[in-house]
Structure 1
Amino acid sequence: MTTQRPPDQESGPSAGPLLSPRAAAALQADPMDAESCCRRRWRCLLICAALLVVIGAVVAGVLLHVRRQRELAKWRGPGSTTHLAEIVLGRCFAYTQLKRPELRDKDCHQIWNAFKNVFVHKNQCNITEEDYQPLLKLTNQNIPCGKSLFWSKSGNLAHQYTKVQPQLLTLEDTLVGYMVDGLRWCGDEGSSELNSGSCPDWKEDCNNNPNFVFWKTVSKWFAESACGVAQVMLNGSLPEAFSKNSIFGSVEIYNLHPGKVSVLQAWMMHDIEGKSRDSCSSSSINELRSILKQRGINFNCQNDYRPAKLLQCVSHSEHASCSRI
């Protein structure tokens, strides 16, 4: 049996499968349209690729920052205050332009840089008083004689009092204290970043850290600036109103100048609803009196100074002790 071979396909222009009307129209379209379509496709591809690169860079940056903060987080204390730079600069401008316009010529950006340079790129347990001297020079201000108010374990009442008696100044009412009151800050050796994860705790890590050294340094400056009659507000609701381990007991009283400060006037305040555990006749106050006598500074003490007591009674008007004022 002879097998018949299928006829070969014809060659020529009519060869090949039939085209749909849409495909035929596409073949007959203007070549410029096809070129324009290709350009649009390439442009879309380039834009998508660029977006992917940007997104990748952002994600990598975030991951790197998180990793870096984890590497920095090695201390036992809370980390730097969030938005530290913005807060410090904002307070500096508010103080110099509104609260004390006589200081309007202070350069807040220069002050911030001097402050930041103390602890960035530094060993956080090797900060010194000398590191803060450029900051003190930039923030220096005159403290009028007789207007210095020190405090120990009575900060809330002392600050309430200076708000209604603004002629008196606590350390936190000066420019350098006002800018950073209640804030925390630290960096890391070899890094320009703030450490937002943790900062050294002065008890559990080291006391030569940026925060502790700062308050010792500016407290020394504040005491050295006092003249005339200086005031101190103490907390008589504590077993010992005066402690030699406090900033006041270890730094400030030893930096009062006998030639400038004639008297230290103590106000022994007691919590309205608390116990009265210490008074002007207690052993801790006698110790304070002895230290000042050796330094040639006179000392007076008054229990529950009436103007400050009135301030306490504003929120405790019905208390029995307030009815006797």
Structure 2
Amino acid sequence: MSWHGASRPVTKDLRMGTMLALVLMVFVSSAIGQQKDQAKKYKGTGTTSNLRNIVIGRCYHYMSLNPSIGDKNCTGVWQELLDAVQRKDPCKITQEDYKRLTLVAAQTIPCDKTLLWSRTNDLVHRYTRATENFVTLEDTFLGFLLNGLMWCGKSLRPGFNFKSCPAWNECDHNSISSFWKMSSAAFARASCGVVNVMLNGSADGDIARKESIFRTVEIPNMDPTRVSEVKVWIIDDIQGEDKNSCDSKSTLELKQYIEGHKLKYSCIDNYRPVQALQCAENPDIAACKQCKY
């Protein structure tokens, strides 16, 4: 009896010691994790300040401008973005992580209205604002919500990293590049009829770089049974050189690439409505004084 009686407090002390050790291990592990999260520095800027308010505010604003999209759950959309990246390595975020976000933000794209682009970011959006005849990815609900914003989570903790995030090319599967690839793929799959593409004829190199989202994501995700034609607009800068045109070597290679995906191809040099916009904005440039629209 005396032996058993003496063992009880010893066993209790051991249990308490074990529990304290486990708590200490969790605390130390958490502290080390926090230090690792804080110590890791990426090349990109940190998560945009007030990201939640911006995303939810844009959600309501978009619905007010586009009633046809229906009633979106703005808080739910925000939660899907949060779930896609938090407690994950910012360099190990895949397109699959954004699948649920893409589904809850899905919308119908009218046929013949899709306008893709590469290296014409500023011009293409000035054009869509001026004409309202076409829709870029950034004009869609999902693109509108996150255009121009930065975000990434932390590997071991909830929430966002506001100090730094991976830059676009810093790692293969970062939170920004994976999102835009996923949303670009969804946009391409939703497109139908004639799909227009604005490319920069004054930029160096190939008319559409082989690593561009247009080639690696958008063309492969188009459905040849729904897309009747891919119409390429090659637009020179208003005071730029004419480095590529419809008959240049890289454009003809692009033609083969598009047709290789069973898509019909056509090409227009300096599409006149876009040139008219360029000249309306720059009426005193010599090249525009020769234009008659």
Structure 1 position 228 matched with structure 2 position 193: yes
User: Residues of 2 paired with 1:92 and 1:267: CA distance?
Assistant: 31
Q: Equivalents in 2 of 1:203, 1:233: separation in Å?
A: 23
Matches within 5 A, 1:98-109: 99-109=65-75
**1:237 counterpart residue number:** 202
Q: 1:115 maps to which residue? A: 81
In 2, the alpha carbon distance for the partners of 1:197 and 1:72 equals 10
> Is 1:314 matched up with 2:280?
yes
- Which residue is equivalent to 2:59? 92
Within 5 Å, give how 1:64-75 maps onto structure 2.
71=38, 73-75=40-42
The CA deviation string for residues 66-86 of structure 1, in whole angstroms up to 9 with x for no partner, is x97981552121111111111
Name the aligned partner's letter for residue 207 of structure 2.
Answer: A
Distance of 1:266 and 1:195 partners within structure 2: 39
Contact residue 81 and residue 185 of structure 1 kept, 8 A: yes
Superposed CA deviations along residues 142-197 of structure 1, whole A, max 9, x for unmatched, are 00111100000001111111112223100000000000101110010121231111
Please report the TM-score for the alignment, with normalisation by the length of structure 1: 0.76
Q: What is the rounded CA distance, in whole Å, between the counterparts of 2:96 and 2:157 in structure 1?
A: 21
1:231 counterpart SS class: strand
Q: How does 1:135-150 map to 2 (within 5 A)?
A: 135-150=101-116
Q: 2:167: which partner in 1?
A: 201
Partners of 2:37 and 2:155 within 8 A in 1: no
What's the C-alpha RMSD, in Å, of the aligned pairs?
Answer: 1.7
- Could you report, residue by residue, the CA deviation over 1:275-320 in whole angstroms, capped at 9, with x for unpaired residues? 2211111111111100122222111111110111111112210222
Structure 2 gaps of 5+ residues are 1-30
What SS class does the counterpart of residue 85 from structure 2 fall into?
coil
Q: State whether structure 2 residue 218 is matched by structure 1 residue 214.
A: no
Pairs aligned (count): 258
Whether 1:274 and 2:240 are equivalent positions in the alignment is yes
Percent same amino acid among aligned pairs? 39
Q: Give the corresponding residue for 2:18.
A: none
- TM-score, normalising length: structure 2: 0.84
Q: Displacement of 1:103 after TM fit?
A: 2.3
